[in-house]
Chain A
Amino acid sequence: MADAAAPFRIKGETGEWEVVVGLEVHAQITATASKLFSGAATAFGAEPNTQVSLVDAAMPGMLPVPNKECIRQAVRTGMALDAVINRWSRFDRKNYFYADLPQGYQISQLYQPLVGEGEVEILTDEKDESTAKRIGIERIHVEQDAGKLMHDQHPTMSYVDLNRCGVALMEIVSRPDMRSPAEAGAYLRKLRSVLRYVGSCDGNMEEGSMRADVNVSVRKPGGEFGTRTETKNVNSVRFVMAVVEHEAKRQVELLESGGSVAQETRLFDPDKGVTRSLRSKEDAHDYRYFPDPDLLPLELDEEFLEECKASLPELPDDKRKRYEGLGITPYNASVLTAEVETARWFDALLEAGAEPKQAANWVVAELFGALNRRGESIDQSPVSPSRAAELLGLVADGTISGTIAKQVFEIMLESGEGAAEIVESRGLKQTSDTGAIDAEIDKILAANADKVAEYKAGKQQLFGFFVGQTMKAMAGKANPQVVNERLRAKLG
């Protein structure tokens, strides 16, 4: 589709504008059940202040100890994003006062992050390889999350919940490489997909385990970068796209009316679909970053890196290419690899012996359709990959027709029985018995002598009618190929 590949432009009064987008994605390391520097648990939705250690509450004399598994997950994520892993990195303190930040500083990595430059490939249109684009990753650093203030618990006071305090986050900083809302959306979806494949983050945006700070500026196409705004804590793909759309339009209007864009932090209002100013650059904190003296630099050895590398699963791009190599269409391959659960399910289906092309078509059309209708995710599918392989096998070897397969599948969804069992018990087996088929054909031809005459006079399209009648008479169980052959023979 040429449209998707065409550059996104905002049409202003002075001509066309280009939007420049960079994302800072905060992804919680959900692979571990404990926090970055303390042993406290990290379950979502727990009672306030029940997941807080002495370290998280910043009691006097408490010290952070890095959770090795968090570091491992961030390294694996970096590797999955083709990024440079820094063998020597360090934690820094970002100092500011707020009631949700007990230490008075956040432990982060400013000067020497764990992961350096990498990139991801996005497709703004998954049916069209020509819309592929590489988005640069500038860095990934590891840091602590803050707690949460609750303003609705008391008429004059705010309460503090420290459950999230100290939870491990990866901040994945992109280059300002995106040029449209669609690219920003595709990038975030792709990032989420890779993280979920790696298993470092569950990508659950509703629960806040993934959120994005959206940096937007506009410029005349190909010109100098404009002044950017940063919209904080945007928590869905759709909202990220809305922020880009809205900010780009707002900035163009501002510039064309003789104003200028202020470098500021903004918030997105999902109800109104607009952003509004939170604080200007002048009000920005001086965070007084410096290396955290409670922590030694992180030094990664070869053995650790090798283990990280070896533990990586096949990633979406490689999987997609492998599927395409099996004859699966690019669209199907793209759909089947977007979500790790789908890919895992599909791999199990292939493992169970299903023919790739047939299996891909069936999953995308039949299985997705059924699950959609039932409101179930693929993990909840009542039909397992091995049962599905059995069903597809029956079609492939001619035991049942495609039409019967649909019926069998419906019964499988409801009853949980196996395909062969259903075919057997309900007598749905396709027949290639020419005697039985001939008998039915003879009856039909005899009952429709007028149509036979018309056919013989040249009305060839009536052939389909005879096929339909025969299939109906055979209750759909006749092998369509045999029916065709016998009809042609008898009709001359």
Chain B
Amino acid sequence: MADLTSLTIAELRNGFRSGEFTAREVAESFNAAVAAAKSLNAYTVETPEDALAAADAADAERDNGELPPLAGIPLGIKDLFATHGVDTTAGSNILKGFKPPYESTVTANLRKAGAGMLGKLNMDEFAMGSSNETSAYGPVINPWRRKGSNVGLTPGGSSGGSAAAVAAGIAPGVTGTDTGGSIRQPAAFTGITGIKPTYGRCSRWGIVAFASSLDQAGPMAKTVRDCAILLEAMAGFDPKDSTSLDLPVPQWESNLSSDLRGKRVGIPKEYRIDGVPAEINALWDQGIEWLKDAGGTPVEISLPHTKYALPTYYIIAPAEASSNLARYDGVRYGLREEGVKTLDDMYAATRAAGFGAEVKRRIMIGTYVLSAGFYDAYFTKAQRVRALIKQDFRKAFESCDIILTPTAPSAAFGIGETTDPLAMYLNDVFAVPASLAGLPAMSVPGGLDAQGLPLGLHLIGNELDEQTVLNAGLAIEERAAFTAKPDKWW
């Protein structure tokens, strides 16, 4: 029997259904792999019994005909998703020990589809970060290393634990969340695939909020097909989330096709930015060739407000976060600092002790841009620019069907190498415009750089058109034939 942890979700599904192996064998293999990979620091909580229980249920059901789509598949869950009775901390000290008496809609959907849970995955605190270094649990270590080097690299962020888990084979698929690139950049840094669907496809109910107008859940896995399988299970209208889309969930998996004939591939000229390594631009050019080969027609497009996307994002996201994080006040749950005299002192002491530096920085930025006298100059202006960025995409999609760009401006970097917050924010320069526009976007591995580190290609689709994103991703996946794996050192 092959090493079950090296299989894709589609392969696990087929093998389990055809009786090649049991769901319990799958769960045990992953549980063992998780237990042996502690040095990656990918999991904050391990729940092997949960994975086994779901597996046993799947095994018991297997001969009884109809199985739910994810029967026999154990998954890793980002620590931002509320999981009933299981620690949910958003990577923060302020929620240490918090066990929600409820289950997020997305994870409830996955459970309904038959999936078990391997554990909760480490992440940047409150999903604020691009390297997983802001986690209260310490950084996740990227399974990939530079050729001939032992330097620990970051897996990107904020879904760094999620990305590392898939890359290291300690979860066949995982949930991530993406506010400004938090699925796509770590997917690129770890040589895996991850998709952020259209804003509203997945319910935000039960996901610890960072920036409500941008947060969106999505899957991360080894392949495009696996992402389609997982997204179908995660998505769907939820009356408990006013911003969730009241639309049926498309059959993304069965409609997968790498035939791009008749599709126009938009190449935004503004994404050719200074300081991006030649290797990344070369991979981008290669990506254009691959999509041409699949039948697509490249067209140059213009997204003129792209250059304002990052500053716009760093006004809107912190503004919303400063308000969303006000509930962590020590009154009802989570951390509370005792030994203070007044309510205000308790707030101050609790939040000073509970939040890390990056979260505090963003709360302060957000509070500032919403303050009397600054609101119009920052927040209102940013909302206007956001509308212009959306308009850019709307116009662009009149002349193309899918947009191709690099995912990130660099490969994975070393832990502790990037200390300047602004330099860190630049990681999401390609990812953020799609977030501001609420569009579906995906990162697919394209190849390795000279140091042997994976690089990703980024596909942005029109509103609700996840199918074309997935199809173009499949076309790249087939042609890139990315089979490289990190050498196991952990």
Chain A residues packing against B (C-beta within 8 Å): 54, 57-66, 93, 95, 97-99, 102-105, 158, 160, 286, 288-290, 293-296
Contacts and interface: CB of A to CB of B under 8 A. Distances in A.
Interface stretch (B64-72, B328-336, B469-477): B328-336
Interface of B: 81-82, 88, 90, 95, 98, 100-102, 104, 204-209, 211-213, 239-243, 319-320, 322-323, 325-327, 329, 331-333, 343-344, 347, 367, 370-372, 375, 379
A183 B195 CA distance: 63
Contacts of A158: 343
B375 A296 contact: no
B367 A288 contact: yes
A294 B205 CA distance: 10
A60 B95 contact: yes
Nearest to B81: A61
B375 A290 contact: yes
Nearest to A38: B240
Nearest to B238: A63
A54 B332 CA distance: 11
A99 B332 CA distance: 9
Nearest to B325: A104
Contact of B327 (A64, A98, A102, A293): A102
A219 to B, nearest CB: 28
A61 B204 contact: yes
A286 B101 CA distance: 34
Q: Which 7 pairs show the lowest CB-CB distances between chains A and B?
A: A104-B326, A288-B370, A293-B212, A293-B213, A58-B327, A61-B206, A60-B208
A99 B343 contact: yes
Contact of B102 (A59, A289, A295, A296): A59
A63 B211 contact: no
A58 B379 CA distance: 25
21 contacts: A59-B100, A60-B82, A60-B88, A60-B327, A61-B81, A62-B206, A63-B241, A95-B370, A97-B329, A99-B329, A102-B327, A103-B327, A104-B329, A158-B343, A288-B322, A288-B323, A290-B323, A290-B375, A293-B213, A294-B243, A295-B243
A63 B240 contact: yes
A103 B333 CA distance: 12
B323 A104 contact: yes
A286 B374 CA distance: 11
Contacts of A60: 82, 88, 90, 95, 98, 100, 208-209, 327, 333
Nearest to B380: A290
A227 B327 CA distance: 36
Contacts of B240: 63, 65
B375 A54 contact: no
A457 to B, nearest CB: 94
Contact of B332 (A102, A295, A296): A102
A293 B204 CA distance: 12
Contacts of A288: 322-323, 367, 370-372, 375
A61 B205 contact: yes
Contacts of B319: 290
A222 B348 CA distance: 49
B242 A63 contact: yes
Nearest to B346: A99
A97 B206 CA distance: 23
- Most chain B C-beta atoms within 10 Å of own C-beta, residue among A64, A103, A104, A288: A288
B395 to A, nearest CB: 24
Contacts of B102: 54, 59
Contacts of B329: 97, 99, 104
B347 A97 contact: yes
A64 B320 CA distance: 15
B125 to A, nearest CB: 13
A104 B363 CA distance: 13
A61 B104 contact: yes
A93 B323 contact: yes
A76 B326 CA distance: 34
A279 to B, nearest CB: 14
Nearest to B102: A54
A290 B321 CA distance: 12
Nearest to B92: A60
Contacts of A160: 331
- Most chain A C-beta atoms within 10 Å of own C-beta, residue among B100, B102, B327, B379: B327
Contacts of A102: 327, 331-332
Given A54-B101, A61-B205, 8 more contacts: A59-B332, A61-B209, A105-B323, A288-B372, A288-B375, A290-B375, A293-B211, A295-B243
B428 to A, nearest CB: 19
A32 to B, nearest CB: 17
B403 to A, nearest CB: 25
A57 B323 contact: no
Contacts of B371: 286, 288
Given A54-B102, A99-B343, A64 B242 contact: yes
A99 B327 contact: no
Contacts of B241: 63, 65
A160 to B, nearest CB: 7
Contacts of B100: 59-61
A57 B331 CA distance: 10
